[in-house]
Amino acid sequence: MNNMVNKAQGFGLSMLTKIAGSEILDQLKLRKFIEKSLYQSSKAGFKTLSQTQKILKSGQNIQKQRLPPQSKALFDLNLSVEQQLTCDAMQKFAQEVLYPLAHAADQHEIFPHELWQYSTDLGLNFYALPEALGGVACEQNIVSNILIAQHLARGDFSLTAGLLSSFSVINAITRWGSEQIQAKYLGAFAENPELKASFAVQEETAAFNPYQLKTQAIAHQAHYLISGEKTLVMLGENADLYLVSADLDGTPEIFVVQRDHSITAKKSPAMGLKATESVTLQFKNTPAQRLGDDDFDYHTFVDLGNLMWGAMAVGTCEAMKKYCIQYANERTAFGEPISHRQSVAFMIADMAIEIDAMQMLIFNAASLAESGQPFHREAYLARLLCAEKSMKIGTDGVQILGGHGFTKEHPVERWYRDLRATAIVHSGLHA
């Protein structure tokens, strides 16, 4: 047994060492963050190796993983040392990697291939994987996941959504997956960082309601068959795995679907989220497995996805506010900066107030969620506020720049288009 544990520890440490040895960390000045993370994972993560032996093989028999809720004082806005390091790292990554890539990605409607390598080198998916399967997570870290989404979105909303698609699928499988599903897929994600996954929830119906689904699932022998159409599937043509919502005997459920010949895809470019290469997927008697078992809660599944969209909206709105402040201070009219005009100053002040309100509601809901308490009301209110105020902030940003706000020379028009997704898209991500 000791020999097996030693081998397992060697595997885990070699994986972490590979991440830590990446030149990209030095280029982005993220060395301190990663080294701190590795220290935490080696201190806490490897203590449970003897229970699982950590030889990550797809389909290996493992015990069902569930991250315990946190014991915490609710609505504590103080960030831990690890959370602050995460925020700093993600913000730097957003500024130095995502923002420079965003314009071309939006213009050409292509998700930059190099971002996958960045994600692999930073070990992003390992922050979603439980300790027992080679990851870092030892308890529910919903607030931390929210912070990751928020600070990445300061670089670009669309690229963040695409970058977090596989990360979110791992979160969902970790939280809800049955023992069979986790054994089959969590180990696969740990072994193969190139494995890509996405969500197929949205449908082409007016005022789409995620609780009233046209996509149908029927039981068939030891699995299920799914038929229907899903739209706005991010990176749908690149994904190897989908989490698909479908109606099962009058009840909405989530199913795990591997991409095969029964699934057809067609491009469905949207007003925003262009860099996510969104597609419409047609399922025709596609084999599927149920994601969860007795403890699965579809309402919570949707709520945790909506919190991620709200967090990205907050991050993009912060970028909008910062850009507008800089523009208003530099742009002169009648011999003085336009920031001296009350109408402009009040619009920017309103941005700051609304961003803080959005963030407070999201943090409150996320804090309740990770402590194991009901949070549906708080998540719903957060979604409503983020949907309304993010669009107002986007509109005001375009207005402050005037004619410049209507051109692609400045990023505010892209942010405006992307922010519209906050009110349209349900789930599609998972905290």
What residue spans of 123-197 are helical by DSSP H?
142-152, 157-163, 165-176, 179-191
What are the structure tokens assigned to 152, written together? Answer: 């990445």
Q: How far is CA 397 from CA 351, 364, 389, 400, in A?
A: 9, 27, 12, 5
3-state helix, strand, coil split of the chain in percent (to 5) is 55, 15, 30
Terminal CA-CA length for the chain: 36
Q: How far is CA 140 from CA 61, 213, 221, in A?
A: 23, 29, 35
Packed helices 142-152 and 342-370: angle between N→C axes, nearest 10 degrees: 150
Query: What is the reported pLDDT for 136?
Result: 82
Helix (H, G, I), strand (E, B) or coil at 155: coil
Cα(419)–Cα(398) distance, rounded to whole angstroms? Answer: 12
Helix (H, G, I), strand (E, B) or coil at 285: strand
Which amino acid does the sequence have at 400? Answer: I
CA 380-382-387 angle, 5° bins: 100
Cα(238)–Cα(189) distance, rounded to whole angstroms? Answer: 15
Cα(361)–Cα(383) distance, rounded to whole angstroms? Answer: 9
Cα(145)–Cα(243) distance, rounded to whole angstroms? Answer: 19
Query: What is the reported pLDDT for 73?
Result: 61
Query: What is the reported pLDDT for 91?
Result: 93
What residue spans of 251-341 are helical by DSSP H?
298-330
Tallying the residues shown for the chain, one arrives at: 431
Q: Could you read off the pLDDT tens digit of each residue along the chain, which spans 431 residues?
A: 444 333 333 333 344 444 445 555 555 555 555 554 444 443 333 333 323 333 334 455 667 777 777 766 666 678 888 889 989 999 999 999 999 999 999 999 999 999 998 888 878 888 888 888 778 888 889 999 999 999 999 999 999 999 999 999 999 999 999 999 999 999 899 888 889 999 999 999 888 999 999 999 999 988 999 999 999 999 999 999 999 999 999 999 999 999 999 999 999 889 999 999 999 999 999 999 999 998 999 999 999 999 999 999 999 999 999 999 999 999 999 999 999 999 999 999 999 999 999 999 999 999 999 999 999 999 999 999 999 999 999 999 999 999 999 999 999 999 999 999 999 998 889 99
Domains of the chain: 2-191 (1.10.540.10), 197-290 (2.40.110.10), 298-424 (1.20.140.10)
CA neighbours closer than 13 Å in the CB half-sphere of residue 166: 27
Cα(336)–Cα(1) distance, rounded to whole angstroms? Answer: 75
For 74-84, letters b (16+ CB in 10 Å) and e give eeeeeeeebee
CA 36-191-37 angle, 5° bins: 5
